[in-house]
Amino acid sequence: MTAIPNKVCITDLKNNVGKEVTLAGWLYNSRSSGKLQFLILRDGTGLCQCVVEKGKISDELFDKLEHLGQESSLTLTGTVRAEQRSVGGYELAVTGGEIISPAIDYPITPKSHGVDFLLKNRHLHLRSQRQWCIGKIRHTVIDAIRRFFNDNGFTLIDTPILTTIAGEDTQSLFEVDYFGQPLHLTQTGQLYLESAAMSFGKVYCFGPTFRAEKSKTRRHLTEFWMVEPEVAFADLNSLLELAENFVSFIVAQVLQNNKSQLETLGVNIPALEKIKPPFYRLTYTEAGNILTSQKAQDFLAAQLADFQKQKEQMETRLAELEKQSASGKLKQWQQDKIAAELIDLRSELVEVNTKIENNPKHAKLAAEFQWGKDLGGSDETIISQMHDKPVFVTHYPKEAKAFYMKTDRSNDKVVLNYDLLAPEGFGEIIGGSVREDDYNMLLKRMQEMGLKAESYNWYLDLRKYGSVPHGGFGLGVERTVAWLTNEKHIRQCIAFPRMMDKVII
């Protein structure tokens, strides 16, 4: 790294008011009024408005800066001053600088672009404010995950990525040719983790997870990150408590470390401040009763009315902007601003129209809920939207769930499992259960589900040699980040997303 004298980060400007410092970064945006230039610099830690006054620097540099393209790399030297109205609260009164590498015709402009274009340009789009804020929050989430388990007596166990057995449904396995032997990419570390729990007591694994999901929804990736704790001598209640303490800790860490990113993203911070134990607890049967209730239908009808109102407001604004834009009386920067708002507005309109179209379908699906099937995505959305804090849904029908879940001994139609639904329609972020710890019951369940017991001999062994009640859960990082950043699609919550229909770079 070349050492730049007096270089400070934008986040450290607060400690340098009145001093002359140098910032090194990229040109995020600029505007000029002839004698004054306002350059917004980003350096990976934040944004800073740098004010360049003619006469305060050489004419040559002034001229170069005036024509410098977006995303050019440069250093700017100047005096730091507090300026409430400026982004980040500080400004640099520029006294010098150096262009490191000019960028010409950067493809992503401050105007909006379509989703496909941005995915194709993900290597550049990562520099956008939105992606940067999400990346910073994801970093905190991951740090909080490790901190929580490390500070609570859990031992990290790295489970394999190449696996011999299926942990979840066999439909979503990615097969790998391992020197002629078929292996799979891991769907879950859980089964391996169960064996480690019998050695260490409390363990967790954390890593990339793969599902060949033939699902193009906003909640599914084919490669995602999952953290899974597993605890010996645990029952359903203790696992629910662990999960709610864990999720509350993650939220608290994000609130503590990422306030400014949450604000930039327009996240409802007071709603996050409410995320404290205890969370709501519903059984699957109770959730079904809610879905088929008049209350749910009323809730959906009110939502539909709200969507229609939003649609009308958007259409009015759209007409207004189109009129302004056609007037021919605007300066270039005003035209650009309107063009950007129009693109955003049109895509929001498409979204609200989809919601209006889906609402009656979701209402119908909810009303037709039948005991026995897994909850659908729209069912989860409705339940979570009807609650202001996360909701545990427990005791699902045995048939809808994985072979390893322990049957409820007081009702053998259901298992001792739980999903945690994030509020405001974000849906399932955690899936977990108590594990079947009885050798014969587990064997029977595997046979019923058509699994080859020979492949699972080592897993069955755990029920032979000192079996204990135990269980755990898995939390999906991208879904959690999507909820905390109010991001609709989880593909935005990982730097280089992999989806069924799109692996772009």
Cβ of residue 191: shortest distance to Mg ion, in angstroms? 16
Which of residues 224 and 279 has its CB atom nearest to ligand 4AD in the complex? Answer: 224
- Helix-helix angle 294-326:377-385, to 10 degrees: 90
Report the first-to-last Cα separation within the chain, whole angstroms: 27
Cβ of residue 226: shortest distance to ligand 4AD, in angstroms? 5
Q: Which amino acid is at 445?
A: R
Ranked by CB distance to Mg ion, the top (closest) residue is 431
- The DSSP secondary-structure symbol of 168 reads S
Alpha carbons 432 and 430: distance in angstroms, whole number: 7
How many helices (H) and strands (E) in the chain? 15, 18
Which of residues 78 and 431 has its CB atom nearest to Mg ion in the complex? Answer: 431
Strands across the sheet with 470-476, in order?
155-156, 202-210, 223-232, 470-476, 427-434, 417-422, 391-394, 280-283
Cβ of residue 219: shortest distance to ligand 4AD, in angstroms? 6
Is 427 an interacting residue with respect to Mg ion (CB under 5 A)? no
Applying CB under 6 A, what is the total number of residues that bind ligand 4AD? 24
Cβ of residue 495: shortest distance to Mg ion, in angstroms? 24
Nearest Cα to Cα of residue 103 among 42, 189, 51? 42
Which of residues 132 and 473 has its CB atom nearest to Mg ion in the complex? Answer: 473
Is 228 an interacting residue with respect to ligand 4AD (CB under 6 A)? yes
Which of residues 47 and 226 has its CB atom nearest to ligand 4AD in the complex? Answer: 226
Buried b (16+ CB within 10 A) or exposed e, 465-496: eebebbbbbbbbbbbbbbbbbbbeebbbbbee
Which of residues 16 and 172 has its CB atom nearest to ligand 4AD in the complex? Answer: 172
Answer for which of 43, 71, 91, 168 binds ligand 4AD (CB under 6 A) is: 168
Answer for which of 476, 481, 483, 499 binds ligand 4AD (CB under 6 A) is: 476
Q: Which amino acid is at 138?
A: R
Could you tell me which stretch among 32-40, 261-269, 458-466, 475-483 binds ligand 4AD (CB under 6 A)?
A: 475-483
Q: Which does 430 bind (CB under 5 to 8 A by kind): ligand 4AD, Mg ion, none?
A: ligand 4AD
Total length of the chain: 505
Is 235 an interacting residue with respect to ligand 4AD (CB under 6 A)? no
Is 431 an interacting residue with respect to Mg ion (CB under 5 A)? yes
Q: How many CB atoms lie within 10 A of CB 82?
A: 12
CA separation, residue 258 to residues 18, 126, 133, 237, 274 (Å): 27, 18, 8, 31, 16
| Whether the Cβ atoms of residue 207 and residue 226 lie closer than 8 Å to each other | yes
The H or E element spanning position 385 is helix 377-385
Answer for which of 22, 30, 37, 188 binds ligand 4AD (CB under 6 A) is: 188
Interaction mask 168-187, Mg ion, x per CB under 5 A: --------------------
Answer for which of 25, 46, 78, 167 binds ligand 4AD (CB under 6 A) is: 167
Answer for which of 42, 220, 470, 491 binds ligand 4AD (CB under 6 A) is: 220
Is 492 an interacting residue with respect to ligand 4AD (CB under 6 A)? no
Handedness of CA 346, 348, 352, 355 (dihedral sign): positive
Is 78 an interacting residue with respect to ligand 4AD (CB under 6 A)? no
Three-state DSSP state, 184: strand
Is 379 an interacting residue with respect to ligand 4AD (CB under 6 A)? no
Alpha carbons 176 and 161: distance in angstroms, whole number: 11
Site for ligand 4AD in 401-430 (CB under 6 A): 428-430
Q: Which parts of this chain interact with ligand 4AD (CB under 6 A)?
A: 167-168, 188, 190, 211, 213, 220-221, 224, 226, 228, 428-433, 472-474, 476, 478-479, 490
Q: Which parts of this chain interact with Mg ion (CB under 5 A)?
A: 431
